[in-house]
Amino acid sequence: MMYGTDELPDIIRDYSKRGFGLVCMYARDVPDGHVLEVVMAGDGVERITARVDGTMYRSLTSEIPGASLYEREIYETSGIYPAGHPDMRPLRSRSTWGSLSGGDAIPHNDIFGDGIFEIPVGPIHAGVIGPGHFRFSVAGEPILMMKAYLGYSRRGVEKLMETPVSYDNAPIAERISGDNAVAHTLAHLQTVEQDTEIPERARFIRTMLAELERIYNHLGTMAGIALDTALAVPAAHGNMLRESILRLNEKICGHRQLWGILRAGGLSKDVSETVLAEIERELMRIKFDTEDLAGVMTRSPSFMDRAETTGRLSYEDAVRLRAVGPVARASGVNADVRKMRPYAAYDKVAFDVPICPSGDVYARMTVRKREIIESISVIIQCINEMKDGPICTDVKTKDGFYAGITESPRGETVHCAHIEGGRITRYKIRDASFPNWPALECAVIGNIVPDFPVVNKSFDLSYSGNDL
């Protein structure tokens, strides 16, 4: 059904009352103009299509704050202007920056007064992280405002995915954000596998791979938090545990970040019983070592002083901004795609979704530590439950609209595909980091500048996942 853009706020509110949330929004060209595609997800996935009259529509952001980034992106990529949008600073497209900021490369923050200074940081950083510019407004050390500017490494990934459906686009999907390769590839495969019955063994192995990816990401984040709070020994311990998982990954498929094993219809290779037994033994050790690591950190008064109440994201702000993943769950939001819309073999394993209410650095670290323990349990269940059998089947992809949604280590990851005549005509990717960047801007307010690195690390956002 085709709606008008003026109807969208009421429709989205109606879906929200039924437990659906905004997970993606983008523009699509049609023969006589443009349409807006709004994707809502709850216990299912719903698509809302609205025709745009000309190149302008009334912004949804004032009523639906989570729509803000999507509307800015739509303007930069499609030229469709959201009239009344409160914050039209550049998001991704470098070519529009001059016109939006009056000629300056990056606009100044709109906060002024005696004793207020602006601190620009980046986009080049002293490390291997991607490029991103952060502009702080401070009064002494407390942060009054912070705005992030990304889009320095756009790669045109969505266009690369517009191919005949017979093409193998898994290698592209796993390079969207390399440390979330399994989550992105599984989301992509959902759009082409559709109603295909994936072999049970492949489903269990896919689940195991997704949880191994979650574990090594969370261990890396815990190590980073330890390092940014001057706990060098726990940081080294966390990185050693992460290295143990990466070495297991390499034994599974020949790649430390699990590239190359997922394919349409199942897997490209099986996992031997010898490797499965080694995974189970190693994970039991890592479980106890992770508990020890967290214990050493939380018993340190200096760590707790840096972590508790620092970088707090309230429940209300997490809901308002539609934050996802551990960031949202650390603010009390009970949402996890694996429970709400199970995929792979998540409907065949038991696990809890850790929730913390305080929304600070300590809560985000605690959620990740607990998720590691749950992930280990899920993997062991998969190993014990899976039986010998095929690992791949043929896939037949039909025309239509399809959405793939997974729970990456960073949260809800969304892929949308429009397929016509056996070809993908529009592909949209929304990495979990995309809705969490505004949450980071919110969480740093009132903190001191030296605490920004630890707050930033506790969010663990991806530059490459954002800069598609």
CATH architecture of the domain formed by 2-93: 2-Layer Sandwich (3.30)
Report, as an integer, the average pLDDT of 241-264: 95
What's the farthest any 2 CA atoms get from each other in the chain? Answer: 71
CATH superfamily of 171-429: Cytochrome-c3 Hydrogenase, chain B (1.10.645.10)
pLDDT at 96: 46
pTM equals 0.93
Domain ranges of the chain: 2-93, 171-429
Q: In this predicted model, what pLDDT tens digit does every residue of 94-124 receive, in sequence order?
A: 544 444 444 446 778 888 888 899 998 878 8
pLDDT at 451: 93
pLDDT at 435: 93
Nearest C-alpha neighbor of 8 from the set 72, 91, 76, 71: 71
Say if residues 290 and 241 touch (Cβ distance below 8 Å): yes
Q: Please determine, for residue 369, whether its predicted confidence score (pLDDT) is greater than 60.
A: yes
pLDDT at 105: 66
Question: How many whole angstroms separate alpha carbon 129 and alpha carbon 391?
Answer: 36
Question: How many whole angstroms separate alpha carbon 379 and alpha carbon 246?
Answer: 15
Question: How many whole angstroms separate alpha carbon 223 and alpha carbon 65?
Answer: 33
Q: Please determine, for residue 329, whether its predicted confidence score (pLDDT) is greater than 80.
A: yes
- Number of Cβ within a 10 Å radius of residue 49: 14
Domains 2-93 and 171-429 alike in fold: no
Say if residues 210 and 396 touch (Cβ distance below 8 Å): no
Tell me whether strands 411-420 and 266-267 are parallel, antiparallel or unpaired. unpaired
In the chain the first and final C-alpha atoms are separated, in Å, by 29
Q: Who's near 180: CB < 8 A, 6+ residues apart? A: 213, 217, 408, 409, 410, 413, 431, 432, 462, 465
Q: Is the dihedral of CA 287, 289, 290, 294 positive or negative?
A: positive
* Cα atoms in the 13 Å half-sphere on the side-chain side of 179: 23
Which residues is 419 bridged to in the sheet?
Answer: 400, 424
C-alpha of 184 from chain center: 9
* H or E stretch covering 407: strand 400-408
Q: In this predicted model, what pLDDT tens digit does every residue of 258-310 receive, in sequence order?
A: 999 999 999 999 999 999 999 999 999 999 999 999 999 999 999 999 999 99
Question: How many whole angstroms separate alpha carbon 176 and alpha carbon 91?
Answer: 18
Q: Please determine, for residue 93, whether its predicted confidence score (pLDDT) is greater than 70.
A: no
Which SS3 state, helix, strand or coil, does residue 343 take? coil
- Angle 328-259-157 from CA coordinates, rounded to 5°: 70
Q: Which residues of 90-126 are buried (b: 16+ CB within 10 A; e: fewer)?
A: bbbeeebbeebeeeeeebebeeeeeeeeeeebbbeee
Q: Who's near 97: CB < 8 A, 6+ residues apart? A: 90, 105, 106
Q: In this predicted model, what pLDDT tens digit does every residue of 168-185 receive, in sequence order?
A: 999 999 999 989 999 999
pLDDT at 124: 80
Q: In this predicted model, what pLDDT tens digit does every residue of 64-73 receive, in sequence order?
A: 888 999 999 9
- Sheet with 423-430, strands from edge to edge, namely 400-408, 411-420, 423-430
* Percent of residues, the chain, with pLDDT higher than 90: 76
Banded model confidence at residue 209, pLDDT cuts 50, 70, 90: very high
**Residue whose pair of structure tokens reads 């070592």 in the numeric block:** 289
Say if residues 258 and 249 touch (Cβ distance below 8 Å): yes
Q: Please determine, for residue 254, whether its predicted confidence score (pLDDT) is greater than 50.
A: yes
Mean pLDDT estimate for the chain: 91
Say if residues 318 and 439 touch (Cβ distance below 8 Å): yes
